[in-house]
Amino acid sequence: MAIHELSALLWRERELLDLLTFKLEEEQLLLTAGKSRWLPHGTREVEQVLGHLSKAGLARAVEVAAVAEQWGLPAESSLGELVTAAPEEAWADVLSAHLNAMQQQTAAIKELRDSNEQFLRAAVRSTQETMADLKPAAGTYDSHGRTGSQSGTADSTPSRLFDQQF
């Protein structure tokens, strides 16, 4: 029966949403700790989960269409419309619980995404300000590890190292 398959797919999608929440929180911890070295790994993991979610969403859409047709609704019906049209109250409750949980998870994910974006913007702004403070004539290191001009005297501008990734 398609409704059982739909319910199983909704559980799987909710698990993926939980995993996405975890990965976004993990990314946020990296951002707040200043561990920019690991951000590409965290971002790649978020993208992998999003890929799985996309496939799960497609599978859900197929099952929703199958259940909708079984229940006499148009194939393009939404999950909310299935809740309203469920022939048994038990299925209406199950689908409603899935829908509510997914809406809450989605809201939490949006919040995390926005927060992470603010952290990234602040990091970029800070990096830009740091780079603007660097003078073009900043000292460089010679083959002996000293800073200075070609004449061998120490340069008055201290050398600085910074992560150019940003």
Of 147 and 155, which is predicted with more confidence?
147
Of 166 and 18, which is predicted with more confidence?
18
Query: Domain containing 113: what range?
Result: 2-133
Give the torsion sign (CA, 72, 7, 105, 96): positive
**Statement: residue 166 has pLDDT above 60:** no
At 138 the pLDDT is 52
156 part of a folded domain: no
151 part of a folded domain: no
Residue 80: give its domain's CATH number: 1.20.58
User: Total domain count for the chain?
Assistant: 1
At 165 the pLDDT is 63
As a whole number, the mean pLDDT across the chain is 87
**Statement: residue 130 has pLDDT above 80:** no
89 part of a folded domain: yes
94 part of a folded domain: yes
56 part of a folded domain: yes
Distance of alpha carbon 70 from alpha carbon 34, whole angstroms: 53
Which residues are within 8 A (CB) of 38 and not within 5 positions of it... i.e. 6 or more apart? 30
Distance of alpha carbon 69 from alpha carbon 1, whole angstroms: 12
143 part of a folded domain: no
Whole-prediction pTM: 0.75
Task: Give the H/E segment covering residue 53.
Answer: helix 39-70
16 part of a folded domain: yes
**Statement: residue 150 has pLDDT above 50:** no
62 part of a folded domain: yes
